[in-house]
Amino acid sequence: MRFSKQRDLILNIVQGTRSHPTADWVYGEVRKEFPNVSLGTVYRNLGQLVDNKSLLAINIDGTIHYDAFLDDHQHFQCKTCNNIYDIDISIKDFVSQIESKTNHKIDGCQIHLVGICKDCQNN
């Protein structure tokens, strides 16, 4: 993948947040530095960064969110505020149980938990 100032900025923007942004949000941030950038350019570069394994793409309710935290982790989405949070818990035991019960070889797993976050519970 050739170097691109726009792609580098897109990667830095996603790496600078843990909020799991959408392409539209990234587009708004990129336009602050490159006002003439197209939404298609942002989508294309996000796709290349995902293909290159520099970012994760997470489909939540039909919307793709991007994540620069590449370590094994899961996600929690609050039904009230819609924020998406990282859950830093190993699921190796869970995967091992499924493998032993199904005789499948599991190479990866993403768990998407839904509920109400502690901030919304307190409000």
- Which tens digit of pLDDT belongs to each residue from 51-89? 999 999 999 989 999 999 998 888 999 999 999 999 988
Both structure tokens of 49: 């960064």
Looking at residue 93, what is its pLDDT? 83
Q: What integer is the mean pLDDT of 92-101?
A: 90
Looking at residue 106, what is its pLDDT? 93
Domain map (residue ranges) of the chain: 5-67, 74-122
pTM: 0.85
What CATH number does domain 5-67 carry, 1.20.1260.10, 1.20.58.1030, 1.10.20.60, 1.10.10.10?
Answer: 1.10.10.10
What average pLDDT does the structure give for the chain? Answer: 93
Residues contacting residue 20 through CB under 8 Å, at least 6 positions apart: 58, 60, 65, 66, 67, 75, 84
Where do we find the tokens 């519970």?
Answer: 121
Q: Which homologous superfamily does the CATH classification assign to the domain defined by 74-122? A: Ferric-uptake regulator, C-terminal dimerisarion domain (3.30.1490.190)
